[in-house]
Chains A and B, each alone.
Chain A
Amino acid sequence: MPLDTSTTYPLTKLRLDGRRWNELRLLQAQISTNPASSGSSYLAMGNTAIICSVHGPAEGRRGDATGGSAGSAGAIVEVDVNVAGFAGVDRKRRAGGSDKQSSRIGTILRSAFQSHLHTYLYPHSTISIHVSVLSADGSLLAAAVNACTLALVDAGIPMPGLLCACTAGMSGSASTPRDPNNDELDPLLDLSLPEEQELPFLTVGTTTTVPVGEAAMINDDEDEMKVSMLTMDSKVHCTYVETMLAVGIDGCKQIREILEGVIKKSARR
Chain B
Amino acid sequence: MASALPTLAIPGQRLGPVSSYASGPGTHVQNANIYASIAGPVLVDPASSKAGKSTLSVSRSPLRKAGNAAPVPPSTPKATAPSTSKPRYNTLPAVDSIVLARVTRVQKRQATVSILVVLDETANQAPASTASASDNDNIESILTSAANPENHSNTDELRFQALIRKEDVRAVEKDRVVMDEMFRVGDIVRGTVISLGDQSFYYLTTARNDLGVVMARSEAGNMMFPVSWKEMRDPVTGAAELRKVARPF
Contact with A along B4-38 (1 / 0, CB 8 A): 00001011101001000000001010111101011
Q: Which of B30, B60, B67 contacts A156 (CB 8 A)?
A: B60
Contacts of A191 in B (CB 8 A): none
Contact A222 B38 (CB under 8 A): no
Contacts of A156 in B (CB 8 A): 38-40, 60
Least CB distance from A41 to B in Å reads 11
Interface size for A (C-beta < 8 A) is: 27
Contacts of B41 in A (CB 8 A): 267
How distant is the Cα of A225 from the Cα of B48 in the complex, in angstroms?
Answer: 37
Contacts of A153 in B (CB 8 A): 11, 38-39
Contact B31 A158 (CB under 8 A): no
Contact A158 B28 (CB under 8 A): yes
How distant is the Cα of A112 from the Cα of B210 in the complex, in angstroms?
Answer: 55
Quick one: which of A161, A266, A267 has the most chain B CB within 10 A? A267
- A263: CB under 8 A from chain B? yes
Contacts of B64 in A (CB 8 A): 32, 266-267, 269
Least CB distance from B128 to A in Å reads 26
Contacts of B171 in A (CB 8 A): none
Interface size for B (C-beta < 8 A) is: 24
- A68: CB under 8 A from chain B? no
Nearest residue, chain B, Cβ from A152: B11
- A268: CB under 8 A from chain B? yes
Contacts of A267 in B (CB 8 A): 8, 39-41, 61, 63-64, 66-67
Contact B39 A158 (CB under 8 A): no
Residues of chain A in range 132-155 having any CB-CB distance to chain B below 8 Å:
153-154
Contact B10 A210 (CB under 8 A): no
Least CB distance from B24 to A in Å reads 12
Contact B33 A268 (CB under 8 A): no
How distant is the Cα of A154 from the Cα of B64 in the complex, in angstroms?
Answer: 10
How distant is the Cα of A118 from the Cα of B30 in the complex, in angstroms?
Answer: 13
How distant is the Cα of A158 from the Cα of B12 in the complex, in angstroms?
Answer: 10
- A11: CB under 8 A from chain B? no
- A160: CB under 8 A from chain B? yes
Contacts of B60 in A (CB 8 A): 156
Least CB distance from B109 to A in Å reads 30
Contact B28 A210 (CB under 8 A): no
Contact B8 A208 (CB under 8 A): no
Question: Assuming the A-B contacts A162-B11, A208-B12, are A266 and B63 also in contact, with contact meaning beta carbons closer than 8 angstroms in the complex?
Answer: yes
Nearest residue, chain B, Cβ from A263: B39
Contact A160 B38 (CB under 8 A): no
Nearest residue, chain B, Cβ from A225: B12
How distant is the Cα of A217 from the Cα of B33 in the complex, in angstroms?
Answer: 8
Contact with B along A43-56 (1 / 0, CB 8 A): 00000000000000
Nearest residue, chain B, Cβ from A121: B37
Contacts of A157 in B (CB 8 A): 38
Contacts A161-B11, A267-B67 aside, 7 further interface pairs with beta carbons under 8 A come to A158-B37, A159-B37, A160-B12, A161-B12, A208-B12, A217-B31, A267-B66
In order of increasing CB-CB distance, the 8 nearest A-B pairs are A161-B12, A158-B37, A208-B12, A156-B60, A210-B31, A268-B67, A267-B63, A210-B30
Interface residues of A (CB under 8 A from B): 31-32, 118, 153-154, 156-162, 207-208, 210-212, 216-217, 222, 260, 263-264, 266-269
Sampled A-B contacts (8; CB under 8 Å):
A158-B11, A158-B38, A160-B30, A267-B41, A267-B61, A267-B67, A268-B8, A269-B67
